[in-house]
């Protein structure tokens, strides 16, 4: 018996009895352990568990926005080839179990409980020796242990949490690395400039491992290209090695052509909305082409195209109700707001736009507002149920200042800290030809989504 097995087997800790107890233990370390960049704890955790990560084939996805959507496209496409696919993403929308999925199905409460009870003694040991692992580190360990010793997927689609270099997911060496884009987010941890942020995220590139990227700013491309060159990794770059062209756009249907260095794919269709989702789909296609060339991934073209079209990602331009029309989107930084604004201008039709938002306090609210305020008719500011929430009154004061700069005196700004009351107001304001949008932090989006779905199910008698 190894040292790790002996420690786990001989643990005196009383195990959790339910998945709810296990999840409550995990999430208690959000405010207590906070965000603790660094791989020392992860290295020890893997060592004490006999390196389960070395049993798995990862596709590592980093970037500021679009990570979750690219992961969704990859998961659905690879599954369509008959492979088993594990997916690790964050944050969750409604249930913690969403973070860890096999073939699109959340980890069961039974498996979650079993894995947590196994790894908890090891986590406690590392906490004593090297400081308390964060909630995200614990979640990363649970995902690895589940995939390596319970689920056994052929591939794991592996989303970074915040950065790259010191992100707990960076403990793995993947088959291919993906960097979706670089924008202004988590600047308190990743750096003040785009090149600084890019350097952190580009650190997921491993020696000799190919990398696919859709970054576009010249100064960012330079950082990513240099990182790939330093590690002798082949870089497949949007605009140079692969291209896409949108052919047609309507709500819930976008058609585009894809051209890569290996081949082209005409008439691809996705049902996700927004021009940024075409870019995300093209990034996923280039990643699949790399896997096909390097690792003989086999997916029939018909299955691939069907997979792209049926891919969905909750909380991203998701229409929750038709009457009134209620759209939710987890845009929470300037670049996300820019993508949301583009979609609202190009894809959706409405008489008036009633926009509800709630944010965390550490986000670039000014940059966000500059993209959204030119479009809105009513702005409802609220607060998520989260310890780092931005005050609705502060957001309103900033919004009014920026609206004055725009010369917009026709926008009604409403402060309602209670998000349920704010949601009710937003829906009541939206008349037949209007559009109601809820955006901001995914913690708010998740609560709104769950609440609206619960109300809808209750009305149907489910």
Q: Sorting pLDDT into bands at 50, 70 and 90, what band is 7?
A: very low
Sequence-ordered list of residues with C-beta below 8 angstroms from that of 327, at least 6 positions apart, any chain: 317, 318, 319, 320, 348, 435, 436, 437, 438
| pLDDT tens-digit map of 343-371 | 999 999 999 999 999 999 987 899 999 99
| pLDDT tens-digit map of 274-298 | 999 999 999 999 999 999 999 999 9
DSSP character at residue 150: I
pLDDT of residue 92: 86
| pLDDT tens-digit map of 143-175 | 999 999 999 999 999 999 877 788 999 999 999
Cis status, amide bond into 125, omega within 30 of 0: no
What's the predicted TM-score (pTM) here?
A: 0.92
In the three-class reduction of DSSP (H, G, I as helix; E, B as strand; rest coil), residue 60 is classed as: strand
| Cα torsion angle, 156, 157, 161, 164, sign | positive
């Amino acid at each position: 018996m190894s040292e790790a097995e002996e420690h786990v087997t001989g643990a005196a800790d009383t195990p959790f009895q339910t998945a709810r107890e296990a999840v409550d233990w995990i999430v208690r370390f959000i405010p207590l352990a906070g965000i603790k960049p660094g791989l020392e704890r992860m290295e020890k955790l893997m060592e004490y568990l006999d390196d389960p990560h070395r049993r798995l084939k990862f596709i590592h996805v980093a970037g500021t926005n679009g990570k979750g959507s690219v992961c969704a496209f990859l998961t659905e496409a690879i599954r369509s080839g008959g492979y088993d696919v594990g997916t690790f993403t964050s944050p969750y929308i409604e249930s913690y179990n969403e973070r860890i999925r096999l073939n699109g199905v959340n980890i069961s409460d039974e498996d979650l409980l079993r894995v947590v009870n196994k790894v908890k003694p090891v986590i406690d040991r590392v906490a004593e020796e090297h400081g308390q692992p964060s909630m995200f580190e614990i979640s990363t360990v649970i995902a690895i242990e589940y995939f390596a010793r319970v689920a056994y997927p052929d591939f794991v689609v592996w989303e970074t949490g915040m950065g790259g270099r010191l992100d707990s997911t960076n403990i793995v060496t993947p088959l291919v690395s993906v960097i979706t884009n670089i924008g202004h987010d988590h600047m308190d941890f990743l750096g003040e400039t785009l090149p600084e942020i890019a350097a952190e995220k580009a650190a997921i590139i491993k020696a000799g491992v190919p990398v696919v990227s859709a970054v576009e700013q010249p100064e960012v491309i330079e950082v990513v290209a240099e990182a790939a060159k330093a590690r002798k990794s082949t870089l497949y770059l949007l605009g140079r090695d692969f291209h896409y062209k949108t052919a047609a756009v309507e709500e819930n249907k976008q058609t585009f052509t894809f051209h890569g260095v290996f081949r082209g794919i005409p008439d691809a269709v996705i049902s996700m909305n927004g021009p940024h989702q075409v870019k995300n789909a093209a990034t996923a296609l280039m990643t699949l082409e790399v896997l096909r060339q390097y690792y003989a991934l086999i997916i029939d073209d018909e299955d691939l195209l069907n997979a792209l079209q049926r891919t969905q990602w909750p909380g991203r331009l998701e229409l929750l109700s038709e009457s009134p029309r209620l759209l939710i989107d987890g845009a929470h930084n300037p670049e996300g707001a820019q993508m949301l604004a583009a979609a609202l201008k190009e894809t959706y039709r409405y008489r008036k736009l009633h926009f509800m938002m709630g944010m965390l306090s550490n986000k670039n609210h000014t940059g966000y507002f500059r993209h959204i305020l030119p479009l809105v008719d009513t702005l409802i500011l609220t607060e998520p149920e989260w310890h780092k929430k931005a005050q609705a009154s502060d957001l309103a004061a900033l919004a009014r200042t920026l609206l004055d700069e725009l010369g917009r005196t026709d926008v009604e700004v409403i402060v309602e800290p209670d998000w349920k009351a704010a949601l009710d107001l937003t829906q009541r304001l939206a008349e037949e030809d209007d559009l109601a949008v809820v955006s901001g932090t995914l913690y708010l989006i998740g609560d709104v989504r769950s609440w609206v779905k619960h109300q809808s199910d209750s009305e149907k008698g489910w």
